[in-house]
């Protein structure tokens, strides 16, 4: 079964719905009223628009950029992604299973639109280059007919009361857009720098210059996240010495066994540091930066281990201190934010937790953290996670506001066990969004087993409903294993299955163990 919404013919726009989208024209979606307005043209916006379009839900897409791709039109700075695509993975490129091995293609119902990222890779790396990624996204938008009004800058937002329901007014450089359900997919894209004295003397990661311009210079990089280590890795051959500093010790993704931490591609500075090769990795707070008479900079630090002062001289200081959400005036409308990235607080379905009606897509959806079991986050900050969030979001908006009920195929009770084990072994949604998205089967006695598709795990756990079972893939930082959640008589149970060294959960021990769990749930009707 394909887990996306079924395609429907695109409805002709009605007069009440506002101007025709004019997809395909040079500047589609003129200002006016639309049921939904998507702000942004990065992968999250494209994915949401794609699924809305396939359900025939009218909407506009506006962006201040010149073309599709969002941050991938510019970053990563050293032009190589952190997300892999394996063109020769053990699954057909047009299959759902292939998505597990392809972190960079957007989702599509049509086989010819799947796995597009593979077309643009030159064979030198399973991590596409930035231009390859941009081409991938441009091709998806063109082939899927995802139209965007580019060069249309979102300036401000307000609410407007109306007899048939409030509207959000999105004021842009092209005029005003009105809608009941805006979706903001604007990334985490505004450079952030802490209020450290002298921080204005540092250059933000976003403004890093050509690598050769750092030749022979001693660099101080504030921040030990991936962006800091990306710069350190790329500048190893140019800089005379590199210091990286933040209050906490840096951990690699291998140590955390998740995408938390510095990715394996950037471990070379660690080795240089350990071997005394001209890289210093410091655990210290930056107390201030000042310019010396020599024109160099002095970075004053306070060590995290003993609170002793430490000073480092550098020719250049780079602040790899992250980015924040460019939410403009949404907080003034009541959108609650949290964390250093100013992420909007969100519900299970990526709606603002404080302003109903406003939804989010793309990397911002990491603001709906889910269970974060064992401290491990979902991958909603990356394309291979948020592309599924966008599909589930559209499905929920369609159901809740547009009267479009999702498909819920009937399932033979005798196939339930094997269905769930196949999902655990192969469903890309479960593998990419561990302990976050679940494959759900409801067991309402009146309806019989129904495949409810992919749902947020927290929704399954908290929303109640008929007896049901949800399958997830989870990690505790040591191993990866399936977890079965059972809802029976309003109560919940959690059953972790054993890990398998080859991640194949369809063998006899799994059939036996899951069969035992399901037989209790299905009250005598064998689930296999």
Partner 1 sequence: MATRDEIADAIAGMAIFVDLARPQLIGVASRFEEAFFPQDSRVLRQGLTGSGFYVILDGEADVVADGQKLATLARGDFFGEVSVLLGEPPTADIVATRPLRCIVLGGPAVEAFLVDHPRVMFRMLQAQARRLRNANRRLTANQ
Q: Which is nearer to partner 1, 320 or 528 (CB)?
A: 320
Q: How far is the CB of 488 from partner 1 (least distance, A)?
A: 13
Between CA 443 and CA 468 the distance in angstroms is 5
Q: Which is nearer to partner 1, 292 or 496 (CB)?
A: 496
Q: How far is the CB of 411 from partner 1 (least distance, A)?
A: 25
Q: Which is nearer to partner 1, 125 or 492 (CB)?
A: 492
For 126-161, letters b (16+ CB in 10 Å) and e give: bbbbbebbbbbbbbbbeebebbbbbebebeebeeee
Q: How far is the CB of 322 from partner 1 (least distance, A)?
A: 11
Q: Which residues bind partner 1 (CB under 8 A)?
A: 194-195, 246-248, 285, 302, 304, 307, 336-342, 345, 347, 353-354, 367, 369, 371-376, 435, 458, 461-462, 474, 476-477, 492-494, 496
Q: Which is nearer to partner 1, 17 or 371 (CB)?
A: 371
For residue 14, report the phi and psi dihedrals to the nearest 5 degrees.
Answer: -90, 165
Q: How far is the CB of 302 from partner 1 (least distance, A)?
A: 5
DSSP string, 179-217: ESEEEE---S-EE-----TTGGGSEEGGG---GGGGTT-
Between CA 218 and CA 463 the distance in angstroms is 55
Gyration radius from the chain CA atoms? 25
**With contact defined as beta carbons under 8 Å apart, do 207 and 318 qualify?**
no
Q: Which is nearer to partner 1, 40 or 370 (CB)?
A: 370
Q: Which is nearer to partner 1, 137 or 486 (CB)?
A: 486
Report the half-sphere exposure of 310 (CA within 13 A, side-chain side): 19
Q: How far is the CB of 353 from partner 1 (least distance, A)?
A: 4
Q: How far is the CB of 325 from partner 1 (least distance, A)?
A: 11
**With contact defined as beta carbons under 8 Å apart, do 497 and 514 qualify?**
yes
Q: How far is the CB of 332 from partner 1 (least distance, A)?
A: 16
Q: Which is nearer to partner 1, 271 or 494 (CB)?
A: 494
DSSP state of 118: G
Between CA 302 and CA 394 the distance in angstroms is 48
């Amino acid at each position: 079964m394909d887990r996306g919404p079924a395609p429907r013919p695109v409805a002709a726009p009605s007069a009440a719905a506002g101007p025709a989208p004019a997809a395909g024209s040079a500047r589609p979606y003129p200002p006016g009223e639309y049921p939904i307005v998507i702000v942004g043209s990065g992968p999250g916006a494209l994915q949401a628009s794609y699924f809305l379009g396939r359900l025939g839900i009218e909407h506009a897409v506006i962006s201040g950029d010149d073309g599709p791709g969002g941050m991938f039109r510019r970053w990563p700075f050293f032009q190589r992604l952190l997300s892999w695509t394996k063109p020769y993975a053990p699954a057909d490129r047009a299959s759902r299973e292939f998505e597990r091995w392809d972190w960079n293609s957007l989702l599509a119902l049509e086989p010819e639109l799947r796995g597009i990222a593979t077309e643009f890779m030159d064979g030198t790396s399973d991590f596409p280059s930035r231009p390859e990624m941009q081409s991938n996204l441009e091709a998806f938008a063109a082939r899927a007919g995802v139209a965007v009004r580019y060069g249309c800058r979102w300036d401000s937002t307000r609410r407007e009361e109306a007899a048939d329901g409030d509207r959000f007014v999105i004021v842009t450089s092209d005029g005003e857009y009105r809608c009941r359900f805006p979706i903001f997919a604007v990334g985490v894209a505004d450079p952030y720098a802490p209020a450290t004295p002298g921080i204005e003397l540092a250059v933000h990661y976003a403004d890093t210059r050509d690598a050769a311009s750092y030749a022979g210079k001693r660099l101080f990089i504030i921040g030990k996240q991936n962006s800091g280590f990306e710069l350190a890795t790329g500048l190893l051959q140019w800089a005379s010495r590199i210091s990286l500093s933040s209050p906490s010790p840096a951990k690699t993704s291998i140590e955390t066994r998740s995408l938390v931490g510095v990715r394996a591609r950037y471990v070379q500075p660690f080795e240089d540091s350990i071997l005394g090769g001209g890289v210093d990795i410091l655990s210290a707070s930056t107390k201030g930066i000042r310019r010396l008479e020599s024109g160099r900079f002095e970075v004053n630090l306070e060590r995290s281990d003993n609170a002793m002062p430490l000073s480092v001289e550098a020719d250049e200081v780079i602040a790899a201190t992250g980015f924040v959400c460019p939410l403009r005036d949404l907080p003034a409308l009541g959108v609650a934010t949290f964390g250093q990235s100013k992420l909007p607080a969100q519900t299970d379905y990526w709606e603002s937790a404080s302003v109903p009606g406003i939804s989010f897509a793309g990397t911002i959806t990491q603001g709906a953290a889910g269970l974060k079991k064992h401290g491990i986050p979902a991958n909603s900050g990356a394309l291979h996670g948020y592309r599924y969030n966008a599909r589930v979001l559209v499905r929920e908006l369609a159901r809740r506001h547009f009267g479009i009920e999702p498909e819920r195929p009937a399932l033979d009770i005798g196939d339930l066990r094997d269905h769930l084990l196949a999902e655990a072994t192969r469903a890309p949604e479960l593998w990419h969004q561990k302990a976050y998205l679940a494959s759900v089967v409801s067991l309402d006695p009146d309806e019989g087993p129904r495949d409810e598709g992919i749902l947020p795990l927290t929704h399954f756990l908290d929303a109640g409903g008929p007896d049901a079972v949800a399958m997830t893939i989870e990690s505790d930082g040591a191993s990866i294993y399936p977890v079965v959640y059972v809802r029976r008589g309003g109560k919940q149970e959690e059953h972790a299955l054993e890990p398998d060294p080859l991640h194949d959960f369809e063998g006899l021990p799994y059939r036996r163990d899951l069969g035992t769990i399901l037989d209790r749930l299905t009250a005598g009707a064998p689930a296999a």
